Amino acid sequence: MGKTKKLGPVARFRERGGASLRKVRAEIERLAKQVYECPKCEARAVKRQSVGIWKCKKCGYTFAGGAYTPTTKIGVIVKKPKET
Ligand SMILES: [Zn+2]
């Protein structure tokens, strides 16, 4: 008795931490690869050029935004659905 007790909680904790971290990274990559709406011509043609640089394929408008999304607002909305 008590043999499996020793490793159980530690192993489970490690697994959980790694899994959530991988999930966050996958979500960031998903956001970075998405096509966003252009603030100038409103066409869904904005793609990430590099970290923080976004360019509209339709009108050629280039602007600086968030590292993974053109506006940091998106992240706020996802995290806080109810804003007071
Ligand atoms: Zn545009």
CATH classification at residue 51: 2.20.25.30
**Do 49 and 62 form a contact (C-beta atoms < 8 A)?**
yes
Ion ligand 1 residues within 5 Å by Cβ: 38, 40-41, 56, 58-59, 61
Sign of CA dihedral 62, 66, 72, 74: positive
In-domain check, residue 61: yes
pLDDT in tens, 46-66: 999 999 999 999 999 999 998
**Selected residue with higher pLDDT from 1 and 19:** 19
Distance CA 77, CA 40 (A): 22
Residue 84 falls within a domain, yes or no? Answer: no
2 in any annotated domain: no
Measure 44 CA to ligand 1 centroid, in angstroms: 8
Query: Looking at the whole model, is its pTM more than 0.75?
Result: no
Domain count, the chain: 1
36 inside domain: yes
The helix (run of H) or strand (run of E) holding residue 10 is helix 8-33
Q: Closest Cα partner for 63 from 51, 53, 73?
A: 53
- Asked if residue 3 belongs to a domain, the reply is no
Q: Which domain holds residue 40?
A: 8-79
Residue 8 Cα to ligand 1 midpoint, Å, equals 54
| Structure token pair of residue 1 | 């008795």
The rounded Å distance from CA 60 to ligand 1 centre is 6
Report H helices in 34-66. Answer: none
The confidence band for 21, taking pLDDT boundaries of 50, 70 and 90, is confident
